[in-house]
Amino acid sequence: MRINKTSDDSMIPSVEFEDIISKQGRLNKDVRLKINSKQGIYFEPQDVLFGKLRPYLQNWLFPSFYGRAVGDFWVLRANSSLLSEYLFVLIQSPRFQSVANISAGTKMPRSDWNTVSNTSFSIPVQSEQRRIGQLFNVLDDLIAATQDKIDAFEQIKKALLQHLFDQSWRFKEYSELWTPHLLGEITSKVTEKNTENLYHETFTNSAKYGIVEQQSFFDKSISNEANLANYYVVRENDFVYNPRISNSAPIGPVRRNKLNRTGVMSPLYYVFRATTAVYPIFLEYFFKGESWYRFMYLNGDTGARSDRFAIKDKVFEQMPVKLPEKSEQEKIGALLQNLETVMNQTQERLQKIRDIKDSLLKSLFV
Judge if 350 and 270 occupy the same domain. Answer: no
pLDDT of 220 reads 56
Whether residue 75 lies inside any domain: the answer is: yes
Of 101, 122, 143, which marks where a domain is finished?
Answer: 101
Judge if 300 and 345 occupy the same domain. Answer: no
| Start-to-end C-alpha separation, the chain | 22
pLDDT tens-digit readout, 36-90:
889 999 999 999 999 999 999 999 999 999 999 999 999 999 999 999 999 999 9
Q: Where are the beta strands (DSSP E) in 62-109?
A: 67-69, 73-76, 103-104
Judge if 142 and 242 occupy the same domain. Answer: no
Question: Is pLDDT above 60 for 127?
Answer: yes
pLDDT of 227 reads 80
Whether residue 125 lies inside any domain: the answer is: no
pLDDT of 307 reads 83
Judge if 335 and 319 occupy the same domain. Answer: no
CA atoms of 353 and 359, how far apart (whole Å): 10
The count of other CB atoms within 10 Å of the CB of residue 42 is 19
Whether residue 8 lies inside any domain: the answer is: yes
Do 279 and 326 form a contact (C-beta atoms < 8 A)? yes
pLDDT tens-digit readout, 156-182:
999 999 999 999 999 999 999 999 999
Q: What is the DSSP letter of 69?
A: E
pLDDT band, residue 215 (cuts 50/70/90)? confident
Judge if 269 and 318 occupy the same domain. Answer: yes
Whether residue 197 lies inside any domain: the answer is: yes
Number of domains in the chain: 3
Judge if 189 and 279 occupy the same domain. Answer: yes
Judge if 185 and 319 occupy the same domain. Answer: yes
Residue span of the structural domain in which 137 resides: 132-167+330-366
pLDDT of 366 reads 75
Question: Is pLDDT above 90 for 106?
Answer: no
CA atoms of 66 and 12, how far apart (whole Å): 7
